[in-house]
Chain A
Protein backbone atom coordinates (compact mmCIF):
# COMPACT_ATOMS: atom_id res chain seq x y z
CA UNK A 1 0.00 0.00 0.00
CA UNK A 2 1.46 3.32 -1.03
CA UNK A 3 0.93 6.33 1.15
CA UNK A 4 -0.95 9.13 -0.53
CA UNK A 5 1.13 12.27 -0.88
CA UNK A 6 -0.60 15.50 0.00
CA UNK A 7 -1.51 16.61 -3.49
CA UNK A 8 -4.35 19.07 -3.64
CA UNK A 9 -6.44 16.70 -5.76
CA UNK A 10 -10.25 16.67 -5.77
CA UNK A 11 -12.19 13.40 -6.06
CA UNK A 12 -15.92 13.78 -5.50
CA UNK A 13 -19.34 12.28 -6.10
CA UNK A 14 -21.99 14.97 -6.29
CA UNK A 15 -25.75 15.12 -6.75
CA UNK A 16 -25.95 18.67 -8.03
CA UNK A 17 -24.59 20.10 -11.31
CA UNK A 18 -20.79 19.90 -11.53
CA UNK A 19 -19.14 23.30 -11.17
CA UNK A 20 -16.73 23.02 -14.09
CA UNK A 21 -15.12 26.48 -13.90
CA UNK A 22 -14.42 26.01 -10.18
CA UNK A 23 -12.63 22.72 -10.83
CA UNK A 24 -10.50 24.26 -13.57
CA UNK A 25 -9.57 27.12 -11.22
CA UNK A 26 -8.76 24.57 -8.53
CA UNK A 27 -6.15 22.69 -10.56
CA UNK A 28 -4.61 25.81 -12.11
CA UNK A 29 -1.37 27.09 -10.55
CA UNK A 30 1.42 29.48 -11.56
CA UNK A 31 3.90 26.65 -12.10
CA UNK A 32 1.63 24.98 -14.64
CA UNK A 33 1.55 25.57 -18.36
CA UNK A 34 -1.43 23.49 -19.39
CA UNK A 35 -4.75 22.08 -18.24
CA UNK A 36 -6.50 19.28 -20.13
CA UNK A 37 -10.12 18.57 -19.28
CA UNK A 38 -12.61 15.84 -20.11
CA UNK A 39 -16.30 16.72 -20.04
CA UNK A 40 -18.56 13.68 -20.32
CA UNK A 41 -22.23 14.56 -20.75
CA UNK A 42 -25.55 12.89 -21.42
CA UNK A 43 -26.12 11.98 -25.08
CA UNK A 44 -29.62 12.28 -26.54
CA UNK A 45 -29.67 8.73 -27.91
CA UNK A 46 -28.35 5.27 -27.26
CA UNK A 47 -28.01 2.85 -30.19
CA UNK A 48 -30.32 5.16 -32.16
CA UNK A 49 -33.04 5.08 -29.48
CA UNK A 50 -33.91 8.54 -28.17
CA UNK A 51 -32.86 8.83 -24.52
CA UNK A 52 -35.14 10.69 -22.11
CA UNK A 53 -32.71 10.93 -19.22
CA UNK A 54 -30.17 8.87 -17.25
CA UNK A 55 -30.02 7.85 -13.62
CA UNK A 56 -26.60 7.13 -12.09
CA UNK A 57 -25.93 5.18 -8.93
CA UNK A 58 -22.66 4.23 -7.26
CA UNK A 59 -21.13 2.07 -4.58
CA UNK A 60 -20.15 5.41 -3.15
CA UNK A 61 -17.43 4.57 -0.66
CA UNK A 62 -15.69 2.21 -3.07
CA UNK A 63 -16.15 4.55 -6.03
CA UNK A 64 -14.45 7.36 -4.13
CA UNK A 65 -11.63 5.04 -3.11
CA UNK A 66 -11.13 3.97 -6.74
CA UNK A 67 -11.21 7.58 -7.94
CA UNK A 68 -8.51 8.46 -5.41
CA UNK A 69 -6.47 5.48 -6.61
CA UNK A 70 -6.71 6.81 -10.16
CA UNK A 71 -5.53 10.25 -9.04
CA UNK A 72 -2.62 8.70 -7.16
CA UNK A 73 -1.68 6.63 -10.19
CA UNK A 74 -1.69 9.72 -12.40
CA UNK A 75 0.92 11.31 -10.15
CA UNK A 76 3.04 8.16 -10.32
CA UNK A 77 2.87 7.78 -14.09
CA UNK A 78 2.78 11.32 -15.44
CA UNK A 79 4.54 14.62 -14.73
CA UNK A 80 1.45 16.45 -13.65
CA UNK A 81 0.57 18.93 -10.95
CA UNK A 82 -3.03 18.48 -9.84
CA UNK A 83 -6.10 16.38 -10.65
CA UNK A 84 -9.84 16.88 -10.26
CA UNK A 85 -12.20 13.97 -10.88
CA UNK A 86 -15.90 14.54 -10.19
CA UNK A 87 -18.81 12.25 -11.07
CA UNK A 88 -22.44 13.21 -10.68
CA UNK A 89 -25.10 10.78 -9.42
CA UNK A 90 -28.89 10.70 -9.63
CA UNK A 91 -31.06 11.84 -12.51
CA UNK A 92 -29.28 13.69 -15.31
CA UNK A 93 -30.94 15.33 -18.28
CA UNK A 94 -29.68 15.40 -21.87
CA UNK A 95 -26.59 17.58 -22.16
CA UNK A 96 -25.77 17.65 -18.46
CA UNK A 97 -22.22 16.80 -17.41
CA UNK A 98 -21.98 13.40 -15.73
CA UNK A 99 -18.22 13.27 -15.28
CA UNK A 100 -15.58 15.98 -15.36
CA UNK A 101 -11.83 15.52 -15.16
CA UNK A 102 -9.20 18.25 -15.12
CA UNK A 103 -5.45 17.69 -15.05
CA UNK A 104 -2.88 20.45 -14.76
CA UNK A 105 0.79 20.06 -15.65
CA UNK A 106 3.82 22.12 -16.52
CA UNK A 107 3.66 20.77 -20.09
CA UNK A 108 0.73 19.69 -22.26
CA UNK A 109 1.79 16.16 -23.21
CA UNK A 110 1.60 14.84 -19.65
CA UNK A 111 -1.75 16.56 -19.09
CA UNK A 112 -3.25 15.02 -22.24
CA UNK A 113 -1.92 11.55 -21.45
CA UNK A 114 -3.01 11.67 -17.81
CA UNK A 115 -6.51 12.92 -18.60
CA UNK A 116 -7.04 10.15 -21.18
CA UNK A 117 -5.73 7.56 -18.74
CA UNK A 118 -8.03 8.88 -16.01
CA UNK A 119 -11.30 8.66 -17.97
CA UNK A 120 -10.41 5.30 -19.53
CA UNK A 121 -9.56 3.85 -16.11
CA UNK A 122 -12.63 5.37 -14.46
CA UNK A 123 -14.92 3.77 -17.01
CA UNK A 124 -13.36 0.37 -16.37
CA UNK A 125 -12.80 0.33 -12.61
CA UNK A 126 -15.04 2.77 -10.72
CA UNK A 127 -18.27 1.15 -9.45
CA UNK A 128 -20.85 3.48 -10.97
CA UNK A 129 -23.86 2.37 -13.03
CA UNK A 130 -26.23 4.22 -15.29
CA UNK A 131 -29.79 3.36 -16.11
CA UNK A 132 -31.04 4.67 -19.43
CA UNK A 133 -34.66 5.79 -19.63
CA UNK A 134 -36.45 5.61 -22.96
CA UNK A 135 -40.04 6.26 -24.12
CA UNK A 136 -40.84 2.57 -23.69
CA UNK A 137 -38.88 1.59 -20.62
CA UNK A 138 -35.51 1.64 -18.91
CA UNK A 139 -32.38 -0.51 -19.09
CA UNK A 140 -29.10 -0.68 -17.22
CA UNK A 141 -26.41 0.37 -19.69
CA UNK A 142 -23.94 -2.21 -20.93
CA UNK A 143 -20.69 -1.69 -19.14
CA UNK A 144 -17.19 -2.98 -18.62
CA UNK A 145 -16.33 -5.72 -16.17
CA UNK A 146 -13.64 -4.44 -13.84
CA UNK A 147 -10.46 -6.53 -13.72
CA UNK A 148 -10.39 -8.76 -10.64
CA UNK A 149 -7.98 -11.46 -9.49
CA UNK A 150 -8.86 -14.89 -10.93
CA UNK A 151 -8.06 -16.67 -7.69
CA UNK A 152 -6.44 -16.02 -4.36
CA UNK A 153 -2.87 -17.17 -3.94
CA UNK A 154 -4.00 -19.84 -1.51
CA UNK A 155 -6.70 -21.11 -3.82
CA UNK A 156 -8.56 -24.27 -3.06
CA UNK A 157 -9.73 -26.50 -5.91
CA UNK A 158 -12.75 -25.00 -7.62
CA UNK A 159 -15.99 -26.35 -6.27
Chain B
Protein backbone atom coordinates (compact mmCIF):
# COMPACT_ATOMS: atom_id res chain seq x y z
CA UNK B 1 0.00 0.00 0.00
CA UNK B 2 1.44 3.33 0.96
CA UNK B 3 5.17 3.25 0.50
CA UNK B 4 7.50 5.12 2.76
CA UNK B 5 10.48 6.50 0.96
CA UNK B 6 11.11 3.52 -1.37
CA UNK B 7 14.21 5.25 -2.62
CA UNK B 8 16.21 4.33 0.48
CA UNK B 9 15.46 0.64 0.02
CA UNK B 10 16.80 -2.24 -2.02
CA UNK B 11 14.28 -4.65 -3.50
CA UNK B 12 15.54 -8.23 -3.23
CA UNK B 13 14.10 -11.19 -5.13
CA UNK B 14 14.62 -14.91 -4.65
CA UNK B 15 13.75 -17.60 -7.16
CA UNK B 16 13.55 -21.37 -7.43
CA UNK B 17 15.26 -23.28 -4.65
CA UNK B 18 16.39 -20.03 -3.03
CA UNK B 19 12.82 -18.90 -2.65
CA UNK B 20 12.04 -22.21 -0.94
CA UNK B 21 15.06 -21.84 1.32
CA UNK B 22 14.46 -18.22 2.31
CA UNK B 23 10.74 -18.79 2.59
CA UNK B 24 9.81 -15.68 0.65
CA UNK B 25 10.04 -14.48 -2.92
CA UNK B 26 10.63 -10.83 -2.20
CA UNK B 27 12.20 -8.71 0.49
CA UNK B 28 13.20 -5.12 1.05
CA UNK B 29 16.26 -3.98 2.95
CA UNK B 30 17.72 -0.65 3.86
CA UNK B 31 20.28 0.25 1.23
CA UNK B 32 22.67 1.27 4.00
CA UNK B 33 22.87 -2.40 5.02
CA UNK B 34 24.66 -3.51 1.84
CA UNK B 35 27.09 -1.58 -0.32
CA UNK B 36 27.58 -4.43 -2.82
CA UNK B 37 25.81 -7.53 -4.08
CA UNK B 38 28.23 -9.66 -2.06
CA UNK B 39 27.38 -7.80 1.14
CA UNK B 40 23.69 -8.15 0.45
CA UNK B 41 24.12 -11.90 0.04
CA UNK B 42 26.13 -12.03 3.27
CA UNK B 43 23.30 -10.18 5.01
CA UNK B 44 20.96 -13.08 4.19
CA UNK B 45 23.57 -15.82 4.69
CA UNK B 46 24.16 -14.55 8.23
CA UNK B 47 20.51 -15.16 9.03
CA UNK B 48 20.30 -18.39 7.06
CA UNK B 49 23.62 -20.30 7.10
CA UNK B 50 22.26 -22.92 4.70
CA UNK B 51 22.23 -20.21 2.04
CA UNK B 52 26.02 -19.85 2.03
CA UNK B 53 26.58 -23.22 0.41
CA UNK B 54 24.57 -22.12 -2.63
CA UNK B 55 26.86 -19.18 -3.26
CA UNK B 56 29.12 -20.95 -5.84
CA UNK B 57 26.10 -22.01 -7.89
CA UNK B 58 24.32 -18.66 -8.07
CA UNK B 59 24.42 -15.61 -10.24
CA UNK B 60 23.16 -12.21 -9.24
CA UNK B 61 21.34 -9.56 -11.18
CA UNK B 62 21.01 -5.86 -10.55
CA UNK B 63 18.19 -4.04 -12.29
CA UNK B 64 17.65 -7.10 -14.48
CA UNK B 65 21.20 -7.46 -15.78
CA UNK B 66 23.60 -10.20 -14.73
CA UNK B 67 26.36 -8.56 -12.71
CA UNK B 68 29.51 -9.34 -10.78
CA UNK B 69 29.38 -9.92 -7.03
CA UNK B 70 31.37 -6.78 -6.30
CA UNK B 71 28.81 -4.58 -8.05
CA UNK B 72 27.95 -1.51 -5.96
CA UNK B 73 24.32 -1.05 -4.94
CA UNK B 74 22.31 2.13 -4.88
CA UNK B 75 18.98 3.02 -3.27
CA UNK B 76 16.11 1.82 -5.41
CA UNK B 77 18.05 -1.04 -7.01
CA UNK B 78 16.33 -4.33 -7.68
CA UNK B 79 18.60 -7.27 -6.91
CA UNK B 80 17.87 -10.93 -7.58
CA UNK B 81 19.76 -14.07 -6.63
CA UNK B 82 19.33 -16.62 -9.37
CA UNK B 83 19.96 -20.37 -9.25
CA UNK B 84 21.00 -22.13 -12.46
CA UNK B 85 18.23 -21.53 -15.01
CA UNK B 86 16.20 -24.43 -16.38
CA UNK B 87 13.73 -23.02 -18.85
CA UNK B 88 12.94 -24.70 -22.15
- Chain A positions near chain B (C-beta within 8 angstroms): 40, 56-59, 61-63, 65, 87, 98-99, 119, 122-131, 140-152, 155-156, 158-159
Known: A61-B64, A151-B70, A155-B70. A129 touches B15 (CB 8 A): yes
Name the prevailing secondary structure of the A interface residues: mixed
A58 and B83 within 8 A (CB): no
- For residue A150, give the distance in angstroms from its CB to the closest CB of chain B: 6
Chain B residue numbers with a CB within 8 Å of A57 are: 15-16
* A62-B61, A140-B16, A147-B66 known; A128-B84 Cβ under 8 A: no
Instruction: For the complex, give the distance between the alpha carbons of A127 and B38 in Å.
Output: 20
B1 on the A face (CB < 8 A): no
Interface centre among A59, A65, A122 (most CB of B within 10 A): A59
Are A159 and B38 in contact (CB-based, < 8 A)?
Answer: yes
Measured CA separation A58–B61 after assembly (Å): 14
Are A149 and B68 in contact, with the CB atoms below 8 A?
A: yes
A146 touches B68 (CB 8 A): no
Instruction: Determine how close the nearest CB of chain A comes to the CB of B16; give it in whole angstroms.
Output: 4
For the complex, what is the distance from the CA of A87 to the CA of B72, rounded to whole Å?
32
Within 8 A of A (CB), among B21-74: 38, 57-61, 64, 66-72
A149 touches B16 (CB 8 A): no
- CB contacts (< 8 Å) of A145 on chain B: these are 57-59, 84-85
In the complex, what residues of A have CB within 8 A of residue B17's CB? 140
List 5 additional A-B contacts (Cβ < 8 Å) besides A123-B88, A127-B61, A143-B86. A127-B82, A127-B85, A145-B59, A149-B66, A151-B69
Q: Taking A152-B68, A155-B70 as contacts, is the C-beta distance between A143 and B61 under 8 angstroms?
A: no
